[in-house]
Structure 1
C-alpha cells in the first residue's frame, strides 16, 4: 500500500474475514494460547511479512530462504541442546530422541515446501495481496484442525461416539476466501 497499490473490494473482504478469524482465535473461551505467547506469534507473523516483503525483489528468494533455514537450524539446535541439558523437570521424561527428530523433520519439510510454494507465487502477487493472504495463515490450520476433529475439539472417546460437523462449513469458507483473494489479485 505504501507503493500506491489500490486495494480492491475482494481484497478488503478477504482482509476483513482474515482479521475476524484472527480475532476469533484470540477470543476468551477459544482454544487460544495465552496472551504472552500470542504476542510472540504476532511478532513472528509481522516479522515473516517483513521478511517476505524484503525478499520479494530477490532474484532467488528460495535460495536465500534455504540459506537462512540452515543458519536458523544451527541456532535452534544450540537452543534445543541447552534446553535439554537444563531441563530437570518431570516433563523431561516425555521427550524422546525419535519425537524430537520427527518434530524437526516434519517442521522443516512442511516449512520448506510451504516456502517453496510461497516464493514461486510471491513474484506474481501484488504486495497487498501477499500481505492479506498471510493474515489467513493462522486461521486456515485452525479450520483444518476443526475439520480433522469434526467440529469442537473433543476427547478421543467422545469423538469416536459422536462426530460434530458444525465447524466444517465456516472453515471451508476460509479456505475458499484465501484462494479467492489470490485469484482476484491478478
Structure 2
C-alpha cells in the first residue's frame, strides 16, 4: 500500500469514527428530547419511540442496500448480519429508551458508555487481548473521569434507570465487538436492523398486555400509556434513520481499523458530546464538574492511543 493510500485509509477511519461518535451523542439528545418527563403533554412513549426508531433505521438501510446492490452482490454477499447481533441491537435500543425516561442526557450517556467500556474490555481480555501498562493507565484514567462526575454532589440517578442503561451499554458493547468481524458494514447493519423487527412486534404486544396483568412496578407505570405526537415521531425517525441507521453503519466501517480497546475508549467521548448537546438543545448547564471530567477522559484516551501507536519493545 502506498503512503498516500495509507493516509487516505487512516483519514477515512478517523472521519467515520468522528461521525459515528457524534451520531451516538445525537441519539442521547434526541431520545431525551422525545422522552423527557418535563414535557406536558408527553411527546411519545418509550416503546413507540423504540419501534419507530428501529423501523426507520431498517427502512433507510434497506433503501441504501438497494442502491448499492447488484444481482451479483445480492447473490454472493455473505454480509447479512446475525440473529444474535439483531437481538443485541434490540436490547440496547429498548432499554436505552426506557432508561431515558428516568435519566437526564449526560447521566444517561455516562452510564451507557461506562458499561460499554467495561463490557468490551472484559470480553476482549477473556478473548486473549492483553493491554500494555500505558494502556491500562490510560483506560483507568479515562474511567476515573466518569467516577469523578458521579461523585457526591451530582444528583443521584434513578436506580431503575441506572440498571436499564447499564444493560443497554452491555448490549451495545457486544454489538460493537461483533462489528469488528464485519466484511460489508452497510449490509451487516441493515440486516441487523431488519432482524430486530420481530422483537419490536413482540415488544408492542407485551406493552399492550402488560398493564392488564400488573401495575406494580415503576417500569410498568412508565409504559402503560401509548403517546404519539408529530414532534415525538419526528425525533424517533431522526434517531432511527440518521443517528442510528447511518451512524451505526459508519461505526461498523470504522471498526475495521480500530482495536477493541480503541473502540471502547473512544466511545468515552460520547457523554461529553452528549452533554454539550444537552446544553445547546435542552438548556442544561455546563458545570465545573463536567469540564474537569471531560479533561480527565480525554487525557486517558490520548494515553491509550499513544500506547498503541508507540508500542514499547519487549
Both proteins in one fold, TM over 0.5? yes
TM-score, normalised on structure 1?
A: 0.65
- After TM superposition, the structure 1 = structure 2 runs for residues 21-170 of structure 1, keeping only pairs within 5 Å, are 21-31=145-155, 33-73=157-197, 75-76=199-200, 79-80=203-204, 83=207, 95-108=227-240, 109-134=242-267, 136=268, 139-145=271-277, 148=280, 149-152=284-287, 166=288, 169-170=291-292
In structure 1, C-alpha distance between the alignment counterparts of 2:285 and 2:206, rounded to whole Å: 39
Match of 1:125, SS state, is coil
Greater alpha carbon shift after TM alignment, 74-83 vs 119-128: 74-83
**1:18 offset after TM fit, Å?**
3.3
Match of 1:124, SS state, is coil
Give the structure, 1 or 2, with the largest relative contact order (CA under 8 Å, sep 6 or more).
2
Unpaired runs of 5+ in structure 1? 153-165
- After TM superposition, the structure 1 = structure 2 runs for residues 2-13 of structure 1, keeping only pairs within 5 Å, are 2-7=127-132, 9=134, 11-13=135-137
Match for residue 173 of structure 1 among 291, 295, 307: 295
Tell me the alpha carbon deviations over residues 144-186 of structure 1, each in whole angstroms, 9 at most, x when there is no partner: 256534424xxxxxxxxxxxxx467436536744763674334
- Determine the structure 1 residue equivalent to 2:84: none
In structure 1, C-alpha distance between the alignment counterparts of 2:227 and 2:304, rounded to whole Å: 40
Match of 2:256, SS state, is helix
Unpaired runs of 5+ in structure 2? 1-124, 212-220, 310-314
Q: 1:93 to 1:61 in 2, by over 3 A?
A: closer
Q: 1:25 to 1:52 in 2, by over 3 A?
A: same
In structure 1, C-alpha distance between the alignment counterparts of 2:186 and 2:155, rounded to whole Å: 34
* Residues 151 and 168 in structure 1, CA contact (< 8 A), matched pair in contact too: yes
* Residues 61 and 119 in structure 1, CA contact (< 8 A), matched pair in contact too: yes
**1:122 offset after TM fit, Å?**
0.9
* Residues 189 and 249 in structure 2, CA contact (< 8 A), matched pair in contact too: no
* Residues 189 and 252 in structure 2, CA contact (< 8 A), matched pair in contact too: no
- Determine the structure 1 residue equivalent to 2:90: none
TM-score, normalised on structure 2?
A: 0.43
Tell me the alpha carbon deviations over residues 43-92 of structure 1, each in whole angstroms, 9 at most, x when there is no partner: 221221122222312212332222222333553366357647988x9x99
* Residues 133 and 178 in structure 1, CA contact (< 8 A), matched pair in contact too: no
**1:140 offset after TM fit, Å?**
2.3
Aligned residues: 171
In structure 1, C-alpha distance between the alignment counterparts of 2:190 and 2:270, rounded to whole Å: 23
